[in-house]
Homo-oligomer: A and B are copies of this chain.
Amino acid sequence: MAATRPYANAYDLLRESGLRPTRQRLALAKLLFDGTDRHVRAEQLHGEALADGIRVSLATVYNTLHQFTEVGLLREVIVESGRAYFDTNISDHHHFFCENSGELRDIPADQLAIARLPDPPAGKTVKRVDVILHLADLED
């Protein structure tokens, strides 16, 4: 097995990313990279860790999520002011965001295409393209 790296051992993952494999990073990596695509909030991951008996502070969860994002293991998705999600799916794709439930869902890359990108202003590069489709309940 290998494919999209379905379980590349948390230890190796950290090693390859140049992050010291500490107890809490290992534990959080295991929770995050379980092979499924996850959209996590810091507070929520902290809860999961505690529930698993892992002693880790919320500050460390924030630090770790940001470090993972820096080395490209995660992608941060901003949907509302004061609400950051971290996406374990780092492939090229976009998101549905349901304003009623607060749920974030992946849109597969092949279902949304950007036809034309504008040139960035001089001296800048486009670092990231975020597309969010805000959903609302259909009522009649």
Q: Which residues of A contact B (CB under 8 A)?
A: 78-84, 96, 98-99, 105, 107-108, 111-118, 120-121, 123-138
Contact = CB atoms under 8 A, between A and B. Distances in A.
Contact of A135 (B80, B115, B120): B120
- Nearest 8 A-B pairs (CB), nearest first? A111-B118, A113-B115, A128-B134, A115-B115, A127-B136, A124-B135, A81-B84, A130-B132
B135 A126 contact: yes
Copies of this chain, whole number: 2
Contacts of A98: 121, 124
Contact of A124 (B78, B84, B118, B138): B138
B130 A130 contact: yes
16 contacts: A78-B78, A81-B81, A81-B84, A96-B118, A96-B120, A105-B121, A108-B118, A111-B116, A112-B116, A113-B114, A124-B137, A125-B138, A126-B133, A128-B134, A129-B133, A130-B133
